[in-house]
């Protein structure tokens, strides 16, 4: 197979939203602010910082507006928020000047979507299409996320055509980026190769983003497979924080520092400071009071000297 490996990639850090939401113990707002500021000092240009879900659904993220008001990041860092529905978008737009991108989402499988947001895929997409128009009308970038793109813990394999059909609907609605989520770590490198070859071909002009979880230990292998067929946009979470709150056992995203370490050793440019990311992940470990599962926290960067 001929590689289409890009020489550089973009990485969005999702730990402050996707990572923190899965933590059972309350993380004080000031600690979230400190960790986001630390991440923003590593060269990251895109960070997902908050979600406008109902506070009773995910209490950990109920301080999203306060976090947005208190963080102090460089001016070239683009901040993203996750929007679950039109009511959430109403609330987000009250602080519209605090962020640059809004992400809307759906699950590719009916069962997961129902358990996650208590709506059918059709109902969710109808609302998403309305929100996309509003987001773009506000001058914000609209990103879309398709969860369970590589498999559903309740339904099994999700048809590639179904996932790409949803992606094309998002693109038609105005999404300029579409992220494909391996929500419960069911992807494998062979299928990732097939999937991203098709996605990149079917979505010209759209930023195609890979979002892998390391639930079954294949996260970095899947990222490598996506990279080799031309994917140049990835999401990850420092310290390997995160997971899906719906099914039990769905552990974290691939660790940003592990992903960056792999890319750098391969000669793929990220623009990020690996030592800085490791420091931020170790700081998160201290805040949470437990060992995190990132390998780079323990081993540090590769040193050939």
Element (H, E) at 182: strand 177-182
- DSSP-H helix ranges across 234-294: 256-265, 274-288
First to last CA, the chain: 34
Exposed, middle or buried by CB within 10 Å (0-12, 13-18, 19+), for 72?
Answer: exposed
Q: Which is it for the CA torsion 58, 61, 65, 68, positive or negative?
A: negative
Pick the catalytic residue from 142, 152, 231, 244. Answer: 244
Helices (H), the chain: 29-40, 64-70, 86-93, 110-117, 121-137, 160-173, 189-202, 219-228, 256-265, 274-288, 295-299
Q: Report CA-CA distances (Å) from 50 to 4, 15, 53.
A: 34, 10, 9
CB burial string 138-174: b at 16+ within 10 A, e below: eebbbbbbbbbbbbbbeeeebebeebbebbebbbebb
Q: Annotated catalytic, 244?
A: yes
Beta-bridge partner residues of 156: 152
Residues assigned a catalytic role: 244
């Amino acid at each position: 197979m001929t590689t289409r490996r890009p020489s550089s990639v973009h990485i969005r850090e999702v730990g402050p939203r996707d990572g923190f939401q899965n933590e059972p113990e309350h993380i004080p707002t000031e600690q979230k602010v400190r960790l986001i500021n630390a991440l923003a000092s590593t060269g990251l240009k895109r960070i997902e910082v908050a979600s406008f879900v109902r506070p009773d659904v995910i209490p950990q993220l109920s301080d999203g507006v306060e976090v947005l008001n208190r963080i102090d990041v460089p001016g070239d860092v683009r901040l993203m928020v996750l929007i679950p529905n039109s009511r959430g978008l109403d609330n987000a737009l009250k602080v519209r000047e605090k962020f640059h991108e809004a992400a809307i989402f759906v699950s590719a499988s009916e069962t997961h979507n129902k358990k996650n947001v208590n709506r059918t895929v059709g109902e969710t997409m109808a609302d998403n299409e309305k929100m996309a128009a509003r987001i773009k009308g506000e001058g914000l970038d609209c990103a879309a996320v398709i969860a369970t793109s590589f498999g559903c813990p309740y339904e099994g394999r999700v048809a590639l055509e179904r996932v790409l059909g949803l992606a094309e609907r998002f693109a038609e609605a105005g999404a300029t980026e579409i992220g494909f989520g391996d929500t419960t770590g069911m992807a494998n490198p062979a299928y990732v190769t097939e999937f991203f070859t098709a996605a990149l071909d079917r979505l010209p002009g759209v930023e195609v983003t890979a979002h892998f979880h390391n639930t079954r230990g294949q996260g970095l292998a899947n990222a490598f497979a996506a990279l080799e067929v031309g994917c140049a946009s990835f999401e990850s979470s420092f310290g390997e924080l995160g997971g899906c709150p719906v099914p039990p056992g769905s552990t974290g995203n691939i660790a940003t520092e592990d992903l960056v370490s792999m890319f750098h050793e391969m000669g793929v440019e990220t623009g990020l400071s690996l030592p800085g990311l490791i420091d931020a992940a170790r700081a998160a470990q201290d805040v949470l009071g437990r060992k995190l599962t990132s390998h780079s926290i323990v081993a540090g960067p590769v040193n050939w000297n």
